[in-house]
C-alpha cells in the first residue's frame, strides 16, 4: 500500500472513532508539520528558532479538532494542517519579534498540495542534475519530510535555505558562516544523500 493510501486509510479510521488510527495518523504527520514549521518560522525570522512548541500546538489543535475537518483526500488533510500551522505561526512570530516590524518579504508561502506544487520547489538556476530532479520535484510530501528529518542538521539547513527560501549561495554562505564553495559542495552532498534516502524508502 502506498504512503498516500496508508494515510487515507488512517484518516478514515480516525474520523470514525478509531483511537489507535488517530495516534498513528498524527505520528505519521509529525515530521511533515515539523518541517513546515521550521520553513515558515525561519523564513520570517531569518534565524534558527526552536519551533517545537509551534509543532506541538498545531498537532494538538488538529488532534482535538479532527471532527471539524471536512475534506476527504490526503491533499485536503495536509492543507488543513497547513492552515492551522499558518495561523499559529503568525502568533508565534508576533510573540517572538515583539513590536519589531515583520519582514514579510521573506515569508515563504505555504502551498496547497495536490495541484502540481512541491514542498521543495524546483530551482531554475540549478543545472537539472539527477539528484535535484528526483528530490526537489518529489510528489509525496510526507515521505519527503520523513527523509529530510533523517539528514544531518547542516544538510537540512542548506537545502532549506537554498531550495525553499531561495537564497543565493552567497547568502547561504553568510547564514551558515561558511565559504561559498564549501556551501555549494555541502548542498550537492545534501541532495545526493536525500536522493539516496528516498530511493531506499522506495525500494523498501
Give the residue extent of every domain in the chain.
Answer: 1-113, 118-204
Out of 3.40.50.12500, 1.20.1560.10, 1.10.1740.10, 3.80.10.10, the CATH code matching 1-113 is 1.10.1740.10
pLDDT at 5: 74
Mean pLDDT along residues 48-74: 89
Mean pLDDT along residues 121-145: 53
Give me 69's grid cell.
Answer: 475537518
**How high is the mean pLDDT of the chain?**
79
Please give the full DSSP string across 18-83, using - where no structure is assigned. -HHHHHHHHHHHHHHHHHHHHHHHHHHHSS----HHHHHHHHHHHHHTGGG----SHHHHHHHHHH
pLDDT at 144: 87
Mean pLDDT along residues 118-144: 52
pLDDT digits (tens, 9 = 90+) for 72-126: 888 899 889 999 998 998 888 888 776 445 444 454 444 434 333 455 543 434 4
Q: In CATH terms, is domain 118-204 a member of 1.10.10.10? A: yes
For residue 118, the 8-state DSSP code is: -
Amino acid at each position: 500500500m502506498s504512503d498516500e493510501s496508508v494515510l487515507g486509510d488512517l484518516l478514515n479510521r480516525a474520523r470514525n472513532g478509531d483511537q489507535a488510527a488517530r495516534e498513528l495518523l498524527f505520528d505519521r504527520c509529525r515530521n511533515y508539520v515539523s518541517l513546515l514549521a521550521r520553513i515558515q518560522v525561519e523564513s520570517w525570522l531569518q534565524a534558527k528558532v526552536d519551533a517545537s512548541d509551534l509543532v506541538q500546538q498545531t498537532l494538538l489543535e488538529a488532534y482535538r479538532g479532527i471532527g471539524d475537518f471536512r475534506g476527504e483526500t490526503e491533499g485536503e488533510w495536509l492543507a488543513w494542517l497547513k492552515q492551522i500551522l499558518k495561523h499559529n505561526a503568525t502568533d508565534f512570530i508576533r510573540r517572538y519579534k515583539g513590536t519589531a516590524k515583520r519582514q514579510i518579504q521573506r515569508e515563504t508561502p505555504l502551498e496547497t498540495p495536490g495541484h502540481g506544487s512541491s514542498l521543495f520547489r524546483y530551482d531554475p538556476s540549478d543545472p537539472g542534475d539527477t539528484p535535484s530532479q528526483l528530490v526537489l520535484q518529489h510528489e509525496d510530501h510526507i515521505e519527503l519530510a520523513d527523509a529530510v528529518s533523517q539528514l544531518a542538521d547542516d544538510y537540512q539547513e542548506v537545502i532549506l535555505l537554498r531550495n525553499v527560501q531561495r537564497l543565493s549561495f552567497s547568502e547561504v554562505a553568510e547564514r551558515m558562516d561558511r565559504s561559498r564553495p564549501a556551501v555549494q559542495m555541502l548542498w550537492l552532498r545534501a541532495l545526493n544523500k536525500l536522493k539516496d534516502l528516498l530511493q531506499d524508502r522506495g525500494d523498501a
